Amino acid sequence: MINKMEISNKATFIRKKFGEDSSSPIDVFLFAQTISSLTLVFYPLGKNISGACLKNVSSSVIAVNSGMSLGRQRFSLAHELYHYFFDADISSTVCSSKIGLGNENEKKADQFASYFLIPPAALYESIQSFKQGEERNLSVKEIVKLEQYFGVSHQAMLVRLQEEGEIVSLEAKKLQHGIINYASVLGFDISLYKSSPEYKKKYVLGHYIVQAEHLLESQIISNSKYEELLLDAFRDDIVYGDEQDGGNLID
């Protein structure tokens, strides 16, 4: 049986270890990029895989399925961070696209991701601010506001609210459809519910890019080899310039 208190403490510990507070929403993509030995790979992995973690003594790789929604990608990355930090005896994992399935360790990773992205105290405070002392269920509008605030997928929020006893399974099924349109009319950016844009469907960040630059600066590799390494990492933007904005800063 999963010890939820232990998992919650681990999520708080990792947040604080890297200078984050214990309750605010967190940019998990930016957070992962602060881990010096970690390479992030975004790639369409199909319908059945959410992500993977490959660990090594000198460097590690976390792959995230960029074909899934941005909110789900954030959850998947947080899930893989559990494997990265706490699976000392496991060098590689490939994880299911379904939240709450798999062995006990996979369920621990899902629980960690939920607590890491949606800290319990912060969720409780948000729910109480909505209810204002009333004994009632959360509205769809309030659920959408919660998932937008914490930056998680609709499914991840529904699973968490079921765990907290705020909604029941039957009610969660009724809330599965029409969320993108509903978020739109509430004035929210709907990118949370969409997959990565095409130019970021295949993308590498972190340690790999830094190491390629280091090899070039140390004259260990030629400029052509450096460009080859970057192209292998789908970083055409570095080799040829960023076509999105011409590489110029607009401030």
What are the pLDDT digits (tens) for 216-235? Answer: 999 999 999 999 999 999 99
What are the pLDDT digits (tens) for 59-80? Answer: 999 999 999 999 999 999 999 9
Give ∠ CA 65-18-34 in degrees, rounded to 5.
Answer: 50
How confident is the model at residue 245, as a pLDDT? 52
How confident is the model at residue 136, as a pLDDT? 84
- H or E element in which residue 92 lies: strand 92-96
Q: Identify the sign of the CA torsion 119, 121, 126, 128.
A: positive
The percentage of residues in the chain with a pLDDT greater than 90, rounded to a whole number, is 66
Residue 245 CB-density burial (10 A; 0-12 exposed, 13-18 middle, 19+ buried): exposed
Beginning with the edge strand found earlier in the chain, give each strand of the sheet holding 60-65 in spatial order.
92-96, 49-54, 60-65, 38-43, 203-206
Phi, psi of 85 (to 5 degrees): -85, -35
